[in-house]
Amino acid sequence: MRNTTKLKLVLQLYSMTVDLEENAHWILIMRHKITGAMETVEGDSWSAVVEKAYRILKKRIKDV
């Protein structure tokens, strides 16, 4: 699945803040739109961060 598709699915349930540090380290802060629960995802590439966010989404949906 493409990153854009994963990102679209994640954004349906979470609001996101993205930051890129000087050493090219990505930080993604996700806030659940309904519960307000916060998740932080970090990685060395955009693809890795989106993949981790998508895994969190799948885990949250499975838990419900």
Instruction: Report the CATH number at residue 25.
Output: 3.30.160
* Residue span of the structural domain in which 31 resides: 3-63
pTM of the model: 0.87
Q: How many Å apart are CA 6 and CA 19, to the nearest integer? A: 18
Q: What's the number of domains the chain is made of? A: 1
The answer, yes or no, to whether residue 43 has pLDDT greater than 80, is yes
Residue 63: pLDDT band (50, 70, 90) is confident
Residues 3-15 pLDDT 10s:
999 999 999 999 9
Count of C-beta atoms within a 10 Å radius of residue 26: 19
| 45 alpha carbon, distance to own chain's centre | 13
Where do we find the tokens 């954004």?
11
